Each structure stands twice: as C-alpha cells, then as structure tokens.
Structure 1
Amino acid sequence: MSNFLNGINVPALQGFVQSIKQDESKRHARFNVKTKWQHQTRSVATVSRYHLSGQDHLRYFQIAADEPLELLGGNTAPNPQELLMAALNACLSVGYAVNASVMGITIHSLEIETDGELDLRGFLGLDDNVNPGYDEVSFVVRIHTDAPTEKVEELHRVATKTSVNLANFSRAIRMVPKLEVISG
C-alpha cells in the first residue's frame, strides 16, 4: 500500500504535525511578498523566502496583477480581486486534499468556484458609507469522490474550519501600515 493519497505523503504529514505538537519553536510560519508597481495598473509581486519551524527557506516566484481594460488597465494578468479569490481557492484546495488524505478519502476531482460583488462607489471614493471591499463572498466546492456523504461532510467541516485564507476572509486582521517616503 502506498504512503501517498491524493498526492500527499501521509506519513510525512503526520511526522510534521507531530513535530509541531512536540516543539514550541516549530509552531510558527511567516510569509513575505514584495510587490513593485510597473506601469499603469500593473504590478509584479515577488516571493523569495518564507520562515517555517525555525528555519528560513528560499524560493522564487513572480505573480503579476493588472486590471482589465474597462478599469483602465492593460489586461495583462488577473486583477487583485481575482488573485484574492484564487488565493482563497488554493488554500481551500490544499485543505481538502490534505485532510481527505488523512481521512482516507480519495479525491477524483475537486473544483472551487468563488464569487463576490463590489460596489465601485466605495473603491472610487464616491460614497464614504460604501464599503470599498466585499460585504459577502460565496464559494461552491465540487468534489468527486467515492466516500460516503457523511465522511465528505466531515471533510468539508474540517477543511473550512482550518483554512487559513477562509479565516482571513471571515475575520478582521489587524493591519500595521507604515509609510516610507523616498525623496529626491
């Protein structure tokens, strides 16, 4: 029998979980993204490192963002709202795959579709009483598996309860802004 289910190395995952339980110094993860404006509404974010369980890890990814033509962009990449929803969907996908593997559930296919509507008056500063962000975001999880319905419902409860980005969407995060002005 393989140690892998849904592409997840279950014994390695269990070992990682055990190390977190046993060693306080391994409980934290820190992520960092640096974004540079390029032109018009386009920006490129760079991921170059993260900190996990007391160790720094190097990596390199670039993530472009742009607005569609109708919002004065160049339409060269997803816009920030689409990236936000993609981040939620990706986080939920990880949660479903990992938790299904631990629960012995084989996933044949998984799709998450997220939708939200903004009132542009808030974003454009036309009405101070209008939220510039979402008041509501909905998502649908479509999962194909042979597992019994009760087990899939339990998977759904666990995956949504432990999703970092679903928690970020659902609760206020204390933001700590700082402005550094470079003159000359």
Structure 2
Amino acid sequence: MDKLLNGIDVAALQAFAQGVAEDASKRHARFNVKTKWEHQTRTVATVNRFHLSGNDYPRDIKIAADEPLELLGANSAPNPQELLIAALNACLSVGYVVNASVMGITIHNLEIETDGELDLRGFLGLDESVNPGFDEISYVVRIHTDAPVEKVEELHRIVTKTSVNLANFSKAIRMVPKLEVVVG
C-alpha cells in the first residue's frame, strides 16, 4: 500500500513528477472556464474539462460569483476579487500540503488569510491614474506542525518559489483578448 501523508499519495506524486521530467509530452496542463452572466452582477462559471499530458479529462463544476448588496449585487456568492484571492489561497494550500508531504512534514492545521484593498475610483473610471486592480496583496500562513521551524521555513521558500497562482499574482501575464459580437 502506498504511503499517504497529509492525504497525499507521495509515491504517486513522485512518479507523476518523474514522468513530467522525463517525457516532454507530459509537461503541459491547460485549463478552461466558461462564464455566463445570469442577471444583475451574478455570473456562473462552468468547468467542463481540463487537458493534461495530451489527454482531455471531463469535469462538471459550477462556480458562482456575485457582488455584495452594497456594490449593487444580490450577495449570493463571493465577488470576483474574493474568488481571485480564494484561488491564490487554494493554490498556496496545495503547495504547502503537497511539498510538506514530500518533505515528510505532517500538517495538523493550515490556514491562509489574505487581504487586498482596491481604490474604487479606478474600477468606476473616475480617475484614469488609479489602478482598477490591487496594488498590494498581503497574506499570512498559519501552519501547525511538529516539524522543526527550519524545515517549515524551507517548505515556505519552496512554496513561494513554485506556487502557480503566487507567480500569476506577482508577474504580468500576457493577455490575448478577442471580442465576438452577435447583433440582432
């Protein structure tokens, strides 16, 4: 039986990583999300598939978004900024748990709290000099483990170096927009 640590099958993870390292056809993952506006400020995103190592895998996941009442929404779901921050926290969490498992670290509890502030003048188009997005995001990682502090600090360095969404937050991503208009 494979050894599980923090719920992670370490042997399977190592085999997967070895396959990615050795076989160029296994090096890419592609994700797709289709979002439809429902009403007011509410949208529902659907994840139907993802592509990994040359294969397509079906999925059926719905992700709702809405604004709070104070921002003209119905407060029926997290808003897009909360989902963005939640995606960062989720990605960091995966990084901590998976890397801790490989390092032999047992995690008893993990919590990541993230905070960001927007200047609404940018979003509302009131001042062109104001960034409509976040200028700074701060986060705190609270980890309960029996591992020595030095080992947890090493884990932290690894996660901050390899987290996909931390990289997405901290570096510019080339955006490729396309507009399709249906008239009538």
Q: What TM-score bracket applies, with the shorter chain setting the length? A: over 0.9
Q: Report the Cα offset of residue 2 of structure 1.
A: 5.8
1:140-159 equivalence runs, <5 A: 140-159=140-159
Q: Aligned partner of 2:60: which letter?
A: Y
Tell me the equivalent position of 1:183: 183
2:161 maps to 1:161: yes
Match of 1:91 in 2: 91
1:18 partner letter: Q
- Asked if 1:137 corresponds to 2:137, the answer is yes
Over residues 145-172 of structure 1, what are the superposed CA-to-partner deviations in whole Å (9 max), with x where a residue is unaligned?
Answer: 0000000000000011100000000000
Q: Which runs of 4+ in 1 moved over 6 A?
A: none
Q: With the length of structure 2 as denominator, give the TM-score of the two structures.
A: 0.99
Which residue in the other structure is 1:81 paired with?
Answer: 81
Cα distance per residue 1:27-72 (max 9 Å; x no partner)? 0000000000000000000000000011100011000000000000
Residue in structure 2 matched with residue 70 of structure 1 by the alignment: 70
Deviation for aligned residue 1:130: 0.2
Query: Counterpart of 1:179 in 2: which secondary structure?
Result: coil
**C-alpha separation in 1, matches of 2:154 and 2:170:** 20
Per-residue Cα deviation, 1:57-89 (whole angstroms, up to 9, x for no partner): 001100000000000000000000000000000
Deviations 1:104-141 (A, max 9, x none): 00000000000000000000000000000000000000
State the partner residue of 1:114.
114
Instruction: Name the CA distance, whole Å, in 2 between partners of 1:182 and 1:164.
Output: 35
> Counterpart amino acid of 1:54?
G
**Distance in 1 between the 2:165 and 2:182 partners?**
33
Alpha-carbon distance in 1 for matches of 2:2, 2:155: 21
Which consecutive residues of structure 1, in runs of 5 or more, have no partner in the other structure? none
Q: Name the count of aligned residue pairs.
A: 184
SS across alignment from 2:46: strand
Q: Does 1:127 align with 2:127?
A: yes
The Cα shift of 1:183 comes to: 1.3
| Letter aligned with residue 130 of structure 1 | V
| Inter-partner Cα distance in structure 2 for 1:7 and 1:164 | 21
Return the alpha-carbon distance in structure 2 between the equivalents of residues 78 and 38 of structure 1.
15
Q: Give the aligned CA root-mean-square deviation in angstroms.
A: 0.8
Query: Quick one: distance in 1 between partners of 2:23 and 2:66?
Result: 42
Identity of aligned residues (%): 79
Q: Does 1:42 align with 2:46?
A: no
